[in-house]
Chain A
Amino acid sequence: MGEPKGTSIYFQIRRLFNSPERLLAVFFLSLLSLLVITPLVEIVWDALSYQEYDLAYRPEAEVGGFTLFHLERVFTGRLSRALFYKPLVNSLLIGAGVTVLAVSMGSALAWLMVRTDLPYRGFFGAMAVVPYMMPSWVLALAWMTMFKNDRIGGSDGLFTFYFGVQPPDWIAYGMFPIIITLALHYYAYAYLLVSGALLTVDSELEEAGAICGLSRFQRLWRITAPLLLPAIGSAVVLTFIRILGTFGTPALLGLPVRFFTFSTQIFVSLNAGSTGDGYVLAVVLVLMAIVFIYINTRLLGVRRSFVTVTGKGFRQRRIPLGRWRMPLAILIGFFIVSTVFAPLILLAWESLLITPGEYGLGKLTLHFWIGEAGEDFVDGDAGVLRNDQILAALWNSLRLGFFAAAINGVAGLLIGYAIVRTRGSMMSRGLESIAFAPYIFPSIALGAIYLGIFSTGYGPMPALYGTFTLLVLITTVKNLPFTSRTGISALLQIDKSLEEAARVQGISWIKRMFRIIIPMSTSGLVAGMMLTFITAMRELSLIILLLTPSTMVMTGLIFGYESEDKVQHAGAVTLILVLIIIGVNLLVRRFFGDGLTSLRQS
């Protein structure tokens, strides 16, 4: 406490201003604490105090006073089973099911693509990442079109239309289709991470195994698999946490059979105005994510990498598949068709139906694409290509993607710079953890938190609820873990000496950034931005609670159309969204290389 504190603080401050990396670290550390930690504290507080709507139960209570009322309701009260325990079990089951399925499919695919002589690898490789670019619930929409039965009345699904048989409820709704459709979306994570790791495994290691007399399977199991464990571990964590926070698919496929998950209960609680319950659930979700990450790191060890890259010769040899070559290619082809093409074709088809449920080729129309507004035809809405609402939402989505990507690119680079250049200090570690923190917030929970925090103003900052800025803010924060990772890995590759050389010559920090750092990290930067763009364009869970008509984006609009049973509009708009995301991705790849590879490093 005592002695030369005055000089020490003075010294520290001077030191701070003399080194931009420290200044940046302090700046981002405080900004992110404000954006990530305070919100959490705030909702914990809200969950532990009386809110206005509690007065129906506790008329004598004082709004704002401390209480365990919400905790009782959620954990021990009569409601706890419906509100907490059942959804918890459902969420965990879905999380486990999807993770097992998605990670094994993704890893198997990665192995086939990287290490074998599977034919059409280029085409398969390009297609395998497409599901990642679609909103996760596109498959759920397609599933509904295909398999819905007469339980929900209304029009028939395609299956019933052609085969005259109603699929049983367990196929049409609930746990089974939720797991299948989510797994077919989320396998892309595992695929990207594992194929990235496989690329660094020297096949000589396997050959050494062969020399020692290990069978092909033993080599895979005893040599390759352990080396891939860290990547598979990351894929498990990434997938599992995403699933806990995912909202669209369970909401679509769960409700008809009253299958509720954590995320749907949070949505319902917050929408119905009992925010206390919703916040308790949101905090539990965050805690679960933390526990899960902790267990995972403990199991796999803190250092999540093995040294596989050495100075010696490095070779990748492809394993011949022999007579399995074609059957496997057909299998993968079928997989690609059912995850990429079938959903899009189904949506396109649906957008052309005159009457939902009548799929005959003679009963198609382009009205829902190009028709003019007119009465007596599905509420008189104009076709999607003439519809101002859709164009406005498209513009909002593009703006959201662009701004979030741009801000994230810059922030990711600067954070990476600050972390790498102050490496070894407390500050560096602190910043690295806090930049990673948004990752542990399941999307819907973060949305709930921001809804609570930003609906009132704080000091000079006005209430952001209902503004576009808030959407950009939350999207940026949520994607920061990815972009700061790419920032770090880009900066790690640029040796300090380059900058020092420039510094000796008296070149200013700004100039050094623009002349050295930015040009040398462009590819990583672009990759990070591309990821943010894709995620922002297809995001629903994160922003569903924050959307208002004037800030409506494509995904929210699709959700609305789906709710209003305007299936043709929903199909058409989804198709447009997916094609735009793919198109932009191709464009960027053309100029800057593969945008999605960056995920392999995270």
Chain B
Amino acid sequence: MTLSKTLKTLAISAGLGLMLGGLAQAQMAKQPAPPPEMDAWLKAAKLGSYDTGKHDWAEIEKLAMEEGEVIIYSASSRMAKVASAFMEKYPGIKATSYDLGSVKTIEKTVREQNANLFNVDIVTTGGSGQVIHELWAKNRIVNFVPDMFYDRIPAENREPVLIRVLEAVVFMYNGEAYPDQPPVNNMWELTEEPWKGKVVMKDPLQSLTNYMGVATLVQHADELAAAYKRHTGKDIVLSDGVPDAGYEYILRLLRNDLVILKSGSKSAAASGKPGQANPPTSFGAMTYYRYNFSRGLVNAFYKDIDPAAKIIYPTFTAIARQAPNPNAAKLFTAFLLGSTELTAGTKLEKPYKEGRSAELLLGLLPYFEPGSKSPRDDVPFPEGGDAWDAMKAWTVDPDFMFREGPKVRDFWIQESAG
């Protein structure tokens, strides 16, 4: 009795400890006071605590022209298109985007700043855990929200760091082979015999997006357990040494001969190539749906798959610490969010990249496609993009990623080797 009581107390306090630990972690993600040289820069650039929330855009543009340049580290190759559109609008400012991928964007920023090199103005990348905990909470980036968009962006999309675009990881199937309805309705079906060797994804060890997707599945272990019960009518029995239904799901996917590919394009092509007799299901970024238009694929979303149809991950944008061109960086940030004239009622016509649509979308343009969503709540969806709102979502949690992510990754390494 006493023993079990003690154990219980222990368990509760351990649980509390975990929760508190979680709270402490969440609290840890706080920006500390800036060091003096950074503070001086913040003051001169009117950023951080010197940012009044009111911006004089004529002044900013004038100063930006004097700076004449803006350097962007980005995890998206499409950022180069934004940069050239920006240069068309502001011919005096040279915008250079380095497409580094998320891992290297973060790594390069950290390493350069550690070496006291301050070269970059804008850092825009996904990787929730690291962006919040390793960049923002360590004063490596500064949040900046252009005042005209403040009320048009929900708080969770601009605090603590402004989100540039929301995207999602989803399951996709071949819409030609299954024209009427998706082949499965519950995620657990994909771990069963008929789908052996028939689920593909880009290696989460080489893709931050899928890594976040997989980790967020693990995070929602309880809901996965409930979905299992809905599917089989029984409680799930965990394999040896597996802590919860989240990890169990990953394990069973892998044991069901999950096919790991090197790239998202290949994974999208695997499920979406037309003319396949027995096409696989793919797990990956929703934006690969664009290949339906540019490469003739026939992918479709599992819109109602139980327990959740999409995992939302944000791409952040912030001004780098001691950026050499802070005003050009501000101007570029505003450009990324589109025109103020764009509203929920605006009708945008295809092709979006021409004429009035392009003028309204500005920096949103390359990301204006099904599977992406602007952080603003007043931007209409592109054609085919309204599935977004209908699909039940989980959102990647920076704190969970930071705390548990590495363990999920290790679990993957261990189990994927077979």
Please, which residues of chain A bring their CB within 8 A of the CB of B211? 272
What is the CA–CA distance of A83 and B413 in the complex, to the nearest angstrom? 7
List the count of A-B residue pairs having beta carbons below 8 Å apart: 129
Please, which residues of chain A bring their CB within 8 A of the CB of B262? 251-252, 255, 562-563
Tell me which of B114, B280, B406 contacts A456 (CB under 8 A). B114
What is the CA–CA distance of A549 and B75 in the complex, to the nearest angstrom? 11
> Given A154-B269, A154-B270, A255-B203, are A549 and B100 also a contact pair (CB < 8 Å)?
yes
- Contact check, A463 vs B111: say whether CB atoms are below 8 A apart: yes
B294: Cβ under 8 A from any A Cβ: yes
- Contact check, A456 vs B111: say whether CB atoms are below 8 A apart: yes
What is the CA–CA distance of A565 and B402 in the complex, to the nearest angstrom? 31
- Contact check, A355 vs B296: say whether CB atoms are below 8 A apart: yes
A379: Cβ under 8 A from any B Cβ: yes
Please, which residues of chain B bring their CB within 8 A of the CB of A562? 262
- Contact check, A455 vs B111: say whether CB atoms are below 8 A apart: yes
Tell me which of A56, A151, A377, A549 contacts B406 (CB under 8 A). A56
Tell me which of A56, A463, A466 contacts B405 (CB under 8 A). A56
The residues in B between 76 and 128 inclusive whose CB is less than 8 angstroms from any CB of A are: 98-100, 103-104, 107-108, 111-112, 114-115, 117
What is the CA–CA distance of A506 and B33 in the complex, to the nearest angstrom? 69
Please, which residues of chain A bring their CB within 8 A of the CB of B407? 56-57
What is the CA–CA distance of A134 and B296 in the complex, to the nearest angstrom? 33
Please, which residues of chain B bring their CB within 8 A of the CB of A268? 203, 205-206
B418: Cβ under 8 A from any A Cβ: yes
- Contact check, B103 vs A457: say whether CB atoms are below 8 A apart: no
- Contact check, B414 vs A152: say whether CB atoms are below 8 A apart: no
B197: Cβ under 8 A from any A Cβ: yes
> Given A151-B197, A272-B103, A379-B294, are A255 and B276 also a contact pair (CB < 8 Å)?
no
- Contact check, A153 vs B98: say whether CB atoms are below 8 A apart: no
B148 CB to closest chain A CB (Å) equals: 31
A357: Cβ under 8 A from any B Cβ: yes
> Given A268-B206, A376-B294, are A78 and B263 also a contact pair (CB < 8 Å)?
no
Please, which residues of chain B bring their CB within 8 A of the CB of A550? 98
How big is the B interface, by class? 35 or more
- Contact check, A272 vs B259: say whether CB atoms are below 8 A apart: no
- Contact check, A152 vs B259: say whether CB atoms are below 8 A apart: yes
Tell me which of B111, B293, B404, B418 contacts A258 (CB under 8 A). B418
Give per-residue flags for A6-43: 1 if the beta carbon is below 8 A from chain B beta carbons, else 0: 00000000000000000000000000000000000000
Nearest residue, chain A, Cβ from B258: A258
A589: Cβ under 8 A from any B Cβ: no
Which are the 6 A-B pairs with shortest beta-carbon distances?
A: A153-B270, A82-B417, A154-B269, A565-B265, A563-B263, A56-B406
Could you tell me which A residues sit within 8 Å of B by CB distance? 52-53, 56-57, 78-79, 81-83, 86, 150-155, 251-252, 255-256, 258, 260, 268, 271-274, 355, 357, 375-380, 455-457, 462-463, 465-466, 548-550, 562-566
Could you tell me which B residues sit within 8 Å of A by CB distance? 98-100, 103-104, 107-108, 111-112, 114-115, 117, 134, 197, 200, 203, 205-206, 211, 259-263, 265-266, 269-271, 273, 276, 278-280, 282, 293-296, 351, 353, 402-407, 409-410, 413-418
A selection of 17 A-B contacts at a CB cut-off of 8 Å is: A82-B413, A151-B259, A152-B200, A152-B261, A153-B200, A154-B273, A255-B260, A256-B260, A258-B417, A271-B206, A273-B107, A456-B115, A465-B108, A563-B263, A564-B265, A565-B265, A566-B265
